[in-house]
Amino acid sequence: MLVGCNMADYALGIDIGGTFTDIVVYDAVHGTSSAHKELTTPDAPHRGVIAGIHKLFEAQGIACKDVSRVVHATTLFTNALIERKGAPTGLITTAGFRDTLELRREHKYELYNLFMELPQPLVRRSLRLEAPERIRPDGRIEQPLDVEALLTQVARLKSAGIGTMAIAFLHAYANPTHEIQARAAIHERYPELFVSLSSEVAPQIREYERTSTTVANAYIKPLADSYLDLMRSEIAGLGIKAPLFMMLSNGGLTHIDEAKRVPIQLLESGPAAGALAGSTFGLRSKARDVLAFDMGGTTAKLAIVEDGAPLIAYQFEAGRQQRFMEGSGLPINISTIELIEIGAGGGSIATIDALGLLKVGPESAGAAPGPACYQRGGVAPTVTDANLVLGYLDAATFAGGTVKIDRELARAAIAPLAKMSKLSIEEAAWGIHSVVNENMAAAARVHVAERGHHAGNFALLATGGGGPLHGCEVARRLGITRVICPPSAGVASALGLLMAPARIDRVATVAQRMGEMNWREFEKAFVKLEREAGAVIAKTVSKRTRVTIARSADMRFVGQGFELVVALPPGPYTERSAAALRAAFTKVYGKTFGHVPPVGEIEIINIRVAASAQVAKGELKVASGKRGESGALKGKRRAWVGARGRFELLPVYDRYRLAIGVAVRGPAIIEEDSTTLILPPKARATVERSGNIVVAL
């Protein structure tokens, strides 16, 4: 139990998922944490947050005034984009380029599919208008912006009911003058309009991707603006005077004003926090190469942690028409922890298809009505219903006792599916459990292989309410022999928020061959980005905090169509830096393609800066609970052992009472408030000093 006192110093993490809202409070003085799971309230997400904070603080005796830091992540903006529930949005482009969003790159993600569907643009054609202006690729102005013509187009958008708009002029990455001029004119006449500029949201070469990202930012900006103001107000209303930070997709934190300015940076905030937790807890078990597997109520996420750090990508796709097919979604140019999301969670619905085959997901029962066993009106059979029928969940302690579940309702939901399959209810439940495991393993297998790895070389770190439930079986299917279950695994993403540093990424296009490089201007471009990023970091951390700057660049051989992101040595750069930059590029090129051409001119297209600074006070220490107390064995429960195809009485352990060094042999069940670890036969679980449970399969 966490007890408030005069020396109290608490950090509060809030992670809103599709089914549950996780609230974690960390006591920096004593190095302990406590958590609460509250059902998400989709119609008004802040209600679930405030209710969860009230319950957790009351149970733990914490005073709101003792909170020194609040960090928040949410799937609200991702869902708005995927479900097309953002604000009506307009787009103004350079004359002749209104169809960029529809032309895309004329690339077919399925070459021989005559009925292939592409994602519809977020802005319909009637709301994509043009303004007379033209800037050349080198930044020189060819045709000045016609401001009156621009405002006439804005008036048309206003009359159509538009409250937010994107401006994406040709080559604005090279010279943003016209976009800045356009925004000033619009704000003077229509101050209520939200305006997103491509030169601020995605200031880099490639017209389609830049326009797509800017439109997506405009699409969610009104929602982000009102939601973040509301959340800040509601938290302050509790008496919490601490600053509110938002988790970014790149695994860093920023202040509210920066989040409101470019909310597209928040799209993958929750999954990014889970990947950070995977990295941190993996290192505590001396596992530097980890698959961070986070299974929640609606989706499962998988991130590759290589050499102790999650992989970072600089573009991803939202709303894919085909979940695993690159090119089938909307490209978003932001820095993000690289991961894959799978439509598999506790709320995933099981059905029988036209061929009589069992399918699970991606449709989900979500938080409302939720799985049938939640007693909230749901009738469709879900993964959680199957796990309850199989004996893997305890109805009395599920989600820390915050949600009451009913086994008979779960059986009733699965019964029709079992009848159609000519199976018993228990066999059908095992089928649901097995199919969702295979769905997740198949997606993970492809994701890992596409990045040149073999899954068997990694440890699997299982988090989320469903991660430990399914982790050992998913690992077995991937050929992984080591599974790590950290303390408070069910709320690890919320804990990951409290581990995150402040981080801001900036990018600019330079498009220069190294042999023709103006090194003075090249260095000045980096310094400019570093100053911009540093200014944002300064508003997030104290002045005494050390800021770390990392430089990188998008590089390629001349004539190639796309680049590799290459980490660069520290600056400043001069003519003498050419050899070091070339060596950095050829090393990455050789690792990626297995061969480096003996000759070839190198060009640098974009330069990147990542500024980061530690926010947490010292290392986050998370204890797994009461150590070495008697009564770790709670009793026995009848549960399905898949390897043997039958129910058996399995020992059930209280994780909080397992002593350091204790080994538990499977089949067995280990329970904690926010999740349950299922050990298969022949598995051996050991409690480490770090609090991690490490399972040898």
Residues 75 and 153 placed together within one structural domain of the fold: no
Residue 652 lies in a domain: yes
> Average pLDDT of 136-165?
96
- The helix/strand/coil state of 116 is coil
**What is the structure's pLDDT at 648?**
94
* Pair type for strands 134-135 and 668-671: unpaired
User: Is residue 53 domain-shared with residue 184, that is, in the same domain?
Assistant: no
Specify the pLDDT at position 460. Answer: 97
494, pLDDT greater than 90: no
Asked, for residue 41, whether it belongs to a domain, the answer is yes
Q: Within 13 Å, how many C-alpha atoms sit on residue 643's CB side?
A: 12
Residue 402 lies in a domain: no
Lowest pLDDT segment from 26-30, 322-326, 596-600: 322-326
Distance CA 570, CA 584 (A): 12
Q: Residue 55 is part of a domain; what is its CATH number?
A: 3.30.420.40
**Looking at residues 196-211, what average pLDDT do you find?**
96
5 lies in a domain? no
30 with 150, same domain: the answer is no
- The Cα–Cα gap between 498 and 504 comes to 17
The residue with greater pLDDT, 202 or 329, is 202
Q: Are residues 577 and 525 in the same domain?
A: yes
pLDDT tens, position by position, 628-682: 445 789 999 999 998 888 999 999 999 989 999 999 998 999 999 889 999 999 9
**Is residue 51 in some structural domain?**
yes
pLDDT surpassing 80 at residue 577: yes
Reported residue count of the chain is 697
Are 532 and 607 contained in the same domain? yes
Structure tokens, 663: 């080994």
In a domain, 168, yes or no: yes
Read off the pLDDT of residues 453-475 as tens digits, 9 standing for 90 and up: 899 999 999 998 899 999 999 99
Give yes or no: residues 91 and 57 share one domain: no
**Which of 79-88, 162-171, 427-436, 438-447 shows the lowest per-residue confidence on average (mean pLDDT)?**
79-88
Using CA atoms, how far residue 696 sits from 4, 294, 473, 627, 668, in Å, is 39, 19, 12, 22, 13
Q: How many Å apart are CA 39 and CA 48, to the nearest integer?
A: 7
Read off the tokens for 90: 């307009």
Of 191, 223, 255, the residue that ends a domain is 223
Span 514-554, pLDDT tens digits? 999 999 999 999 999 999 999 999 888 877 788 999 999 99
Q: Dihedral sign, CA of 437, 439, 440, 446?
A: positive
Higher pLDDT, 450 or 72: 72
Packing angle of the helix pair 147-159, 177-189 (nearest 10 deg):
50
Which domain covers residue 181, as residue numbers? 84-223
User: What percent of the chain clears pLDDT 90, i.e. is strictly above it?
Assistant: 66
Same domain, 547 and 660: no
How many domains does the chain contain in total?
4
* Domain annotation covers residue 366: no
Q: How confident is the model over 602-624, as pLDDT tens digits?
A: 999 999 999 999 887 656 666 54
Q: Which of 193, 223, 253 is the last residue of a domain?
A: 223
The predicted pLDDT at position 387 comes to 96
Instruction: Quote the tokens at residue 19.
Output: 């089914």
Q: What is the mean pLDDT of the chain?
A: 90
Domain check: are 53 and 113 in the same one? no
pLDDT digits (tens, 9 = 90+) for 94-141: 999 999 999 888 778 888 888 888 888 999 999 999 999 999 999 999
Structure confidence by residue, pLDDT tens digits, 255-287? 999 999 999 999 888 888 889 889 999 999 999
- If asked whether residues 243 and 215 sit together in one domain, one would say no
Mean pLDDT to the nearest integer, 47-68 = 92
8 Å CB contact between 35 and 265: no
Of 392, 414, 394, 391, nearest to 403 by C-alpha is 394
pLDDT-based confidence at 53, cuts 50/70/90?
very high
Whether pLDDT at 183 is above 50? yes
- Residue ending a domain, among 157, 192, 223, is 223
Q: Model confidence at 426, in pLDDT bands (50, 70, 90)? A: very high
Give me the pLDDT at residue 76, please. 84
Q: The CATH number of the domain where 562 resides is what?
A: 3.30.1490
Query: Same structural domain for residues 215 and 95?
Result: yes
Q: Is residue 597 part of a domain?
A: yes
Query: Are residues 204 and 217 located together in one domain of the fold?
Result: yes
Tell me, yes or no, whether 16 and 91 share the same domain: no
Segment 488-513 mean pLDDT: 90
